A and B are shown apart, each in its own frame.
Chain A
Amino acid sequence: MMTIATAPAARALSVALAGNPNAGKTTLFNALTGARQHVGNWPGKTVEKKTGALVRDALRLDITDLPGAYSLSAYSLEEVVARDFILDERPDVVVAVVDAANLERNLYLVVQLLELETPGVIALNMIDVATRQGLDFDVARLSEALGAAVVPTAARRGEGLEPIVAAIAAAAGAPRSLFRLDYGPVVESEIDALLAALAQSSLVLAYPPRWLAIKLLEDDADVAAKLAAEAGGAELLATATAARARLEAALGEDADTVLADRRYAWIHALVGRAMRAERAETLTLSDRIDRFATHRLLGIPLFLAAMWLVFKITTDLSAPWVDWLDAVLTGPLSRWMLAALGALGLGETWVASLAVDGVLAGVGSVLAFVPVLLALYFALAVLEDSGYMARGAFVMDRLMKRIGLQGRSFLPLMVGFGCSVPAIYATRTLTNQRDRVLTGLLVPFISCGARLPVYVLFAAIFFPARAGLVILGLYVLGIVVALGVGLLLQRTLLPATGEAGLVMELPPYRLPNARSIGFHMWQRTRAFLQHAASLILMTTLVIWLLTAIPLGGAGTFADTPMPESAFGRVSALAAPALRPLGFGSWESGGALITGLVAKEVVVSTLAQIHDVASATDAVGTTTFAGDLVEIVTSFGRAVVETLRAIPGLVGINLATDEAGDDAALSAALRASFEETSGGHAAAAGLAFMVFVLLYTPCMAAVAAERHELGTRWMWLSLFGQLAIAWLIALAVFQLGRLLGGG
Chain B
Amino acid sequence: MSIPLWPTLWLALTALLALGLVLLVVLLPAESRRRLLGRREAQPAVIDERAQAFLAAGLLPLSDCPRDRTACLRCLQVDRCVVHRLLELGLTPGVELRVVQDNGGPMLVSVRGSRVALGRDLADNLWVEMGDRANGK
Contacts and interface: CB of A to CB of B under 8 A. Distances in A.
Question: Do A and B come together as binding partners?
Answer: yes
Interface of A: 70-71, 73, 75-76, 101-105, 108-109, 253-254, 256-257, 260-261, 264, 281, 286-287, 290-291, 294-296, 299, 390, 393-395, 397-398, 401-403, 480, 483-484, 487, 498-508, 579-580, 678, 727-728, 730-731, 734-735, 737-738
A484 B18 contact: yes
A108 B88 CA distance: 7
B88 A71 contact: yes
Contact of A503 (B18, B89, B104): B89
Given A499-B121, A502-B118, A257 B106 contact: no
Given A261-B93, A500-B81, A506 B117 contact: yes
B66 interface: no
Given A500-B81, A503-B82, A398 B104 contact: yes
Interface in B1-37: 1, 3, 5, 7-8, 11-12, 14-15, 18-19, 21-22, 25-26, 30, 33
Nearest to B40: A499
Contacts of B26: 402-403, 483
B111 to A, nearest CB: 8
Contact of A102 (B14, B88, B103, B114): B114
A287 B121 CA distance: 23
B83 A501 contact: no
Interface residues of B, number: 53
A104 B114 CA distance: 9
Contact of A286 (B33, B115, B119): B115
20 contacts: A70-B85, A101-B113, A104-B90, A105-B114, A287-B110, A290-B108, A290-B115, A295-B103, A296-B103, A397-B117, A402-B30, A484-B18, A498-B79, A501-B120, A503-B117, A504-B117, A580-B3, A678-B1, A731-B11, A738-B8
A294 B99 CA distance: 13
A667 B5 CA distance: 31
B103 A299 contact: yes
A505 B25 contact: no
B51 interface: no
Nearest to A739: B12
A600 to B, nearest CB: 29
Contacts of A294: 101, 103, 108
Contacts of B58: none
A480 B22 contact: yes
B112 interface: yes
Contact of A256 (B19, B25, B33, B83): B83
B108 A261 contact: no
B11 A394 contact: no
Contacts of A290: 100-101, 108, 115
Contacts of B1: 579, 678
Nearest to A296: B103
B25 A403 contact: yes
Contact of B122 (A103, A254, A502, A727): A502
Nearest to A732: B15
A243 to B, nearest CB: 18
Contacts of B7: 734
A260 B92 contact: yes
B22 A105 contact: no
Contacts of A580: 3
Contacts of A257: 76, 83, 87, 92-93
Contacts of B84: 73, 75, 256
B3 A734 contact: yes
A105 B90 contact: yes
Contacts of B118: 501-503
Nearest to B7: A734
B81 A260 contact: no
